Amino acid sequence: MDVNSGHSSPVMTDSPQISNSRLTVRQNRLPPYSSSTAASQNNNLLLTVPRKKTGIIDDVKANAWLDAMIASSPTPAIVNKDNISSDATTDMTYHEWTLKYPSALNTFEKIMSVAKGKRIALFLDYDGTLSPIVEEPDAAYMSSDMRTAVQNVAKYFPTAIISGRSRAKVYEFVGLSELYYAGSHGMDIMSPAGESLNHKHLSRTVSMNEQVFIFLPFCFLQYTIRFLICDFGKFQGKDVNLFQTASEFLPMIDKVLCSLVESTKDIKGVKVEDNRFCISVHYRNVEEKNWTLVAQCVDDIIRTYPKLRLTHGRKVLEIRPVIDWDKGKAVTFLLESLGLNNCDDVLPIYVGDDRTDEDAFKVLRDGPNHGYGVLVSAVPKVSNAFYSLRDPSEVMEFMKALVTWKRSLD
């Protein structure tokens, strides 16, 4: 993997639904990041972000903020297990869409015919893939059946969870020490306890006795304490490998985090989430008339931080470092670390539902590590994925099918 590449990056939104009209999202207005102050290992990871004139946002919608927030927050389709939608037109569109993105369950035998004689590596998003999308981000728990399915599939295939959440938070939800975890959209990668990540860009190896006591700012002390007691026994005394490509940004991110918590505290329904190397501002429970206020608070703070950029997800604004790193880069890094990079006998599979997963889908579609992206969606979306699944319940069935297939070969 070449971590020295750089490219321009627009403001990102969730993959648009296929419809008669779409809202346009303009590029982020943050100025470019200067590499002169960056640490040496990150000098060539920087993104060039087009500069716009700064100034107070008197009309957020005119500056595309509100448009982007609305475009990233579509109303979900109501579907049932029989693939029948409350809207016949929507259901017909979905049926037509699956001709381009076939169900990974209906075409499972076809996928496995390609996988025969190859080593499968499995990559999974968390929210919307292993757990349902919920109103309260802290309540996005996976079911015990889903946890068992993930645990079983990890017995047969290298398995990683790559999420926009902090690595610690994802582990708190999943609780399986045998997985690879990549939090903050792949900017914070950890090996399973006792396993190694063999890579030229590996940051460091630490004991979990050291690891659990660092990183979270004072304003999130309560969260830190909760993580300290989360399955610590599974890791205690064992070494893990860490790759943290944005470590130099942590002091800045911590300052922005505490500023956002303070500035949004009076907006009913807003949730500021510390995701370690990025910050999520959730407005899922905010009345739409107050979305402009949320956007204003975020802009007032990040406008003074040209080394940070804004991206959009489903009813969430995310603040990230301006570096050339994403979930696709994380997939390539993990494949290299596992000795599975550029191998004809390897089939990577990535399952995810979010706009940020598209970077991984594209890597597997167009890159040397050819594999399959599987988009989890109950509505038609434009995607770089090859296949689709409707919801987390189908993701669980897909993992069970992988295990059954593997066992049949033994």
Could you write out the three-class secondary structure of 52-82?
CCCCCCCCCHHHCHHHHHHHCCCCCCCECCC
- 103: DSSP letter: B
Q: For 75-81, which contacts have Cβ atoms below 8 Å and span 24 or more sequence positions?
A: 76/133, 76/378, 76/379, 77/378, 77/379, 79/378, 79/390
Where residue 348 sits, what CATH number does that domain have?
3.40.50.1000
Structural domains counted in the chain: 1
Torsion region of 55: left, alpha or beta (phi above 0 gives left; psi -120 to 50 gives alpha):
left
375 within some domain? yes
What are 186's two structure tokens? Answer: 């792949």
* Residue 193, pLDDT score: 75
* Token pair recorded at residue 370: 């050819």
Per-residue pLDDT at 290 exceeds 60: yes
pLDDT at position 238 is 61
Tell whether 15 is covered by a domain.
no
pLDDT at 21 over 90: no
> Is residue 326 over pLDDT 50?
yes
Whether 338 maps to a domain, the answer reads yes
Task: Give the residue, 69 or 124, on which the prediction is more confident.
Answer: 124
Pairing of the two strands 204-207 and 188-190: unpaired
Question: Is the residue at 36 inside a domain?
Answer: no
Q: What is the mean pLDDT of residues 255-276?
A: 96
Q: pLDDT tens for residues 133-192?
A: 988 888 999 999 999 999 999 999 999 999 999 999 999 999 999 999 999 999 999 998
Q: What is the pLDDT of residues 189-213, one digit of tens each?
A: 999 876 766 655 554 544 444 443 3
Instruction: Calculate the average pLDDT of the chain.
Output: 78
Q: Judge whether residue 233 has pLDDT over 60.
A: no
Look-up: residue for tokens 């999974």? Answer: 124
> What confidence score (pLDDT) does residue 196 get?
65
Cα dihedral 178→183→189→190 (10° resolution): -30
Residue 390, in any domain of the structure: yes
- What CA–CA distance (Å, rounded) separates 9 from 311? 10
Nearest CA among 48, 46, 27 for reference residue 38 = 46
| CA gap 210, 232 in Å, rounded | 12
- pLDDT greater than 60 at residue 35: no
Neighbours of 104 (CB within 10 A): 26
Q: What pLDDT, on the 0 to 100 scale, is given for residue 347?
A: 98
DSSP 209-243: HHHTTSS--GGGHHHHHHHHTSSGGGTTT-EEEEE
How far apart CA 88 and CA 170 sit, in angstroms, is 37
Structure-model confidence comparison of residues 35 and 265, the more confident one: 265
Does residue 163 contact residue 127 with C-beta atoms inside 8 Å? Answer: yes
Q: Side-chain half-sphere of 27: how many Cα atoms within 13 Å? A: 12
At residue 343 the predicted structure's pLDDT band, cuts being 50, 70 and 90, is: very high
Q: Is residue 341 part of a domain?
A: yes
The answer, yes or no, to whether residue 122 has pLDDT greater than 80, is yes
Given a cut of 50, is residue 76 above it in pLDDT? no
Span 27-54, mean pLDDT? 41
> What pLDDT score does 177 carry?
93
The terminus-to-terminus CA distance of the chain in angstroms comes to 33
pLDDT at 68: 67
On whether residue 232 sits in a domain, the answer given is no
Cβ neighbours, 10 Å, residue 393: 14
The SS3 assignment for 250 reads helix
Query: Which of 70-84, 117-131, 154-168, 323-337 is predicted with the least confidence, judged by mean pLDDT?
Result: 70-84
d(CA 77, CA 82): 14
Q: Give the range of the structural domain holding residue 399, as residue numbers without chain letter.
A: 103-198+325-409
Please work out, in degrees rounded to the nearest 5, the angle formed at the alpha carbon of residue 258 by the alpha carbons of 252 and 260. 100
CA-based torsion, 165, 245, 202, 205: positive or negative: negative
Distances from the Cα of 365 to the Cα of 166, 343, 360, 362, angstroms: 27, 15, 9, 5
**pLDDT average, residue stretch 370-374:** 97
Quote the pLDDT of residue 313. 80
Q: What is the pLDDT of residue 352?
A: 98
> What mean pLDDT comes out for the span 15-36?
37
- Per-residue buried b or exposed e for 339-356, using 16+ beta carbons within 10 Å of the residue's own CB: ebbebeebbbbbbbbbbb
Residue 50 inside a domain? The answer is: no
Residue 368: is it exposed, middle or buried by C-beta count within 10 angstroms (0-12/13-18/19+)? exposed
Asked if the model's pLDDT at residue 335 lies above 50, the reply is yes
